[in-house]
Structure 1
C-alpha cells in the first residue's frame, strides 16, 4: 500500500505555514508586537482562529486526490460520471441491473459466454442460449444474492410454486405470466410515469436483458423470493420510472 504524503494537501500546508509564521518565528512576532503591527490582544485570535480558517481554505481549493487514477482522456469526455450505489437496493436487483443490454447470440453457431456461465453454474444439462432463458436469468440473480430459487428454475411457470404469493406487486418481486407455448418470469422494477404500467427487468426479453412495460393484469402471480416471508412495506411503493419504450417484447 502506498504511503499517504500529507504535504500534497493544502489543508495541511496552509495551517502549517501559518503556524511557522506565527509560532516558529517568535522574534518576528515579538518585533511586530513591539511595533504595534500585531496588537497583543490579537495574538491568541491568530492562533485560535486564523490557523483553522487556513485549514478550511485548504480543503475548499480543488486539488488532485493523492490516489486519483491517471487516465488518458485524449479524445474522450473528461466529465466521467460515476453512479452512486444505492445501498438500500436488493442484492438480486443489483445483479439484474448489471446485465442490462446483455444479448444472446442469435447466430445459432455461437452462444453468449455469460449465459453459458449461468447455465453451467446452475447445473443445466444444455449449453446454448437459444432455449428460453428468462428463468435462468432470474435464478442466477437470486443465487448470487443467496436467495433460494425453484428446483426447476429453467421453467418460468415453476416460479409460482415457491416463494410467498403477494396480493400486489412489490419492488424486486418475481412476476410470472403465461405466453404462447410456455411462460415468462421477470422482476418488478417500478411503474412507468406516463402509462402507469409495470416496469420489469428480465432476461430473454427480445433476446436480451432489458426493461419492458407490462400491464399488471398480464401476470398470473407476483411472488416474493427474498430472505424474509414478505417484503418490507416500503417495497410496495414502486419507483416511478421514465424512458422505457419497450411496451411489447418477444419472450420465446
Structure 2
C-alpha cells in the first residue's frame, strides 16, 4: 500500500487520473544528498531514453529533477512528454490550457533560478497542493503559492475521469519557497 499522508488519503478512495495514479506510486522516492545518486531516479532517465524520450545532460540526482519526474509519470500514464522535459517551464506547452486547475493537471511555477513542475491534487485559498519530484529532495505533496503558478495544463484524455475537478483542501502544512 502507498504511504500517502493522512491529509491526502481521500485520493485512495476515488477513481484517479492516470497521472496521479502513476505519481502516487512513486511517493517517497528521494535523492541521495551529496555523493551518489538514487538508482530509481537515474533509472527514470534510462527508461525514458529507451522509450525514445531523449533525456540528455542528466547524470546525477543533484541536478533538479522535477521535470524528469513529470516525464516518467506522463510516460507511464500513456501521456505525451514535452520536448526537453528537464526544463520545468517547457511543461507550459503540455496538453491543453486548463481554465481551472483540476486533479491531475500539470502545474508550472516560477522559482529563484528557474521553474518547477508538478501535478495538481488540490488547493486552498492561497496555495496549490502539488504532487511532484524534487520537493525537499523527494517525491512529495507540498503547498506552493498560487501566485507563482504560470501555467495549468490538462493532459489529453480520450475519456476524462469524473475526478478531474478542482478540490478545495484545508490550508495545512508548510508552504514551499524553493523546490530545488
Regarding TM over 0.5, the answer is yes
The aligned residue for residue 30 of structure 2 is 103
The match for 1:224 is 154
For the Cα contact (< 8 Å) 1:207–1:250, is it kept in 2? no
- In the aligned structure 1, how far is the partner of 2:97 from the partner of 2:142? 22
1:190–1:198 Cα contact (<8 Å) kept = yes
Q: Which structure: greater strand fraction?
A: 2
2:123 corresponding residue in structure 1: 191
CA-to-aligned-CA distance 1:127-153 (integer Å, 9 cap, x gap): 310110000001101100111110211
Contiguous gaps of at least 5 residues in structure 2: 1-9, 50-54
> How far apart are residue 216 of structure 1 and its match?
2.1
Q: How far 1:226 sits from its partner (Å)?
A: 3.1
Q: Aligned in 2, Cα 1:196/1:106: closer, same or farther, shift over 3 Å?
A: same
Aligned length: 165
Task: List gaps (5 residues or longer) in structure 1.
Answer: 1-82
1:89 aligns with 2:12: no
Structure 2 match to 1:133: 65
- C-alpha spacing 1:197/1:180, structure 2 compared with 1 (3 Å): closer
Indicate the larger mover: 120-129 or 143-152: 120-129
The DSSP-based 3-state class of the residue aligned with 2:110 is strand
- Select the residue among 152, 164, 170 that pairs with 1:235: 164
Alpha-carbon displacement from aligned partner over 1:5-26 (angstroms, at most 9, x marks no partner)? xxxxxxxxxxxxxxxxxxxxxx
Residues 109 and 115, structure 2, Cα contact 8 Å, conserved in 1: yes
Q: Could you say if the C-alpha distance between residues 159 and 84 of structure 1 is closer, same or farther in structure 2, counting changes exceeding 3 Å?
A: closer
In the other structure, the counterpart of 2:52 is: none
Q: Does 1:171 align with 2:103?
A: yes
> Structure 1 pair 87/207, CA: closer, same or farther in 2 (3 Å)?
same
> Alignment RMSD, CA only?
2.4
Asked whether 1:246 is paired with 2:178, we answer: no
Pair 1:247–1:163, CA change in 2 (3 A) = same
| SS of structure 1 residue aligned to 2:135 | coil
Q: Which has the higher contact order (CA 8 A, sep 6+)?
A: 2
Say which structure is richer in helix: 1
